[in-house]
Amino acid sequence: MTGFGKSVVEIKNKKITVEIKSLNSKQLDMSLHVPSLYREVELELRNRLARKIERGKIEAVVSAESIDNDSTTQFNLPLIKAYKQSLEDIAYSLGVAAPADWLPLLMRLPDIMKAEPSAEADKAETEALMSAAEAAADALVEYRRAEGRKLEEFFTLRINRIEALLAEVPRYENERVSKIRARIEDNLSKLEQVEVDLGRLEQEMIYYIEKLDINEEKQRLKQHLAYFMETLNGEPGQGKKLGFISQEMGREINTLGSKSNHAELQRLVVKMKDELEQIKEQVLNVL
C-alpha cells in the first residue's frame, strides 16, 4: 500500500498542488493538511480521497501559491520595531553593546512577514482543488497497481517454491519411519533383563508412528497454497484474507517441523518457513 501521487492545477492567478503519500496500515488513517482558505471544503475533500484510496496510512498535503506579480505579503513593521526595542532594552540591562548591524538579526526572527487575509475560495477554485486531489489520488492508485503487479510475481514465486519443497517431502517419509522404528528397537535392546511383549510392542509402535503421520498436514498445506493463489488471482481488496491464509500455512508448516523427526525434513521445513516469512512481510502491502 505504499505509494505517491501528485497533481498541480492552475486557475486564475493561483497554482494548487496536491501531494499524497501512502504507507502500510490495516485501515484508512488519513492526515490531511490544507490552507485555511479551503477549510470549508476539507470534509468533502477527505471523503473524495477516502473513496479512491480505501486503505493505508495517508498523508495528503494541499498548497496554494500566487503566480502573479502582485505580492500579498509584506513586512510586519510594528512587530519588527517591537523586536528592536526589546533587544535594545535587553542589551542595556545586561550592559552589552547593541549590534552594529540590526537588519540580519531582525530578519531571522519569527513572524516578521505578514500576509493579507485571503478571500474565500470561489466555486471555480474549489472545483480545481477537487480535480487536483482526485488526479493525485488516481496517480497514487496507479502507483499502487504497479507495485501490486510486482507483488503478484513475488507471491507466485514464493508459493511455487513452497510447493516444490513440499513435493520433496515424500522422498524422506519411508526412510523417516524406518529410522524411528529402528531407534526404538535399538533402545529396547539395550535394556537388560526386560521381557518385551512383541505383540504389544508392535501395537505401541504403530500408535506412535501414526501420531507422527504428516499426511494430513501435507494435504492441508497444499490446499492452503492453492487457496492463496486463487485469492490472489481473484477479486481485488483481499489483502486481509491473504494474511489469514498465510497464517494457516504457517500452522501446517510448524506442525510438519514438530513431527518430522528427520534432519532432511527439518531442512525442508526451515526453507518453507523462510519463504513464508517473506510472504507475510509483503502481504501487508496488499489492499
DSSP string, 167-222: HHTHHHHHHHHHHHHHHHHHHHHT-TT----HHHHHHHHHHHHHHT--HHHHHHHH
pTM over 0.85: no
What is the per-residue pLDDT for 68?
A: 64
Specify which residues 74 forms β-bridges with: 114
Listing from the earlier edge strand, what are the strands of the sheet with 28-33? 3-11, 14-23, 56-66, 28-33
Place of cell 487536483: 132
> In 3D, which of 45, 252, 28, 72 has the Cα closest to residue 134?
45
User: What gap in Å lies between CA 35 and CA 63, rounded to an integer?
Assistant: 7
- Tens digit of each residue's pLDDT, the chain (287 residues): 688 999 999 987 788 999 999 987 778 899 999 988 888 899 999 999 999 988 889 999 999 887 765 555 677 888 889 989 998 889 889 888 888 888 888 888 887 776 554 556 678 889 999 999 999 999 999 998 898 889 999 999 999 999 999 999 988 877 776 777 667 766 666 766 666 666 766 666 666 666 677 888 999 999 999 999 999 988 877 888 999 999 999 999 999 888 877 788 889 999 999 999 999 988 888 87
What cell does 253 get?
A: 508448516
Q: How many CB atoms lie within 10 A of CB 71?
A: 9
User: What gap in Å lies between CA 23 and CA 106, rounded to an integer?
Assistant: 41
Single-letter code of the amino acid located at 249:
M
What cell does 93 get?
A: 540591562
What is the per-residue pLDDT for 115?
A: 54
What is the per-residue pLDDT for 26?
A: 75
User: What gap in Å lies between CA 8 and CA 67, rounded to an integer?
Assistant: 13
What is the per-residue pLDDT for 197?
A: 62
What is the per-residue pLDDT for 43?
A: 94
Its sign, for the CA torsion 93, 97, 102, 105, is: negative
> In 3D, which of 17, 101, 115 has the Cα closest to residue 61?
17
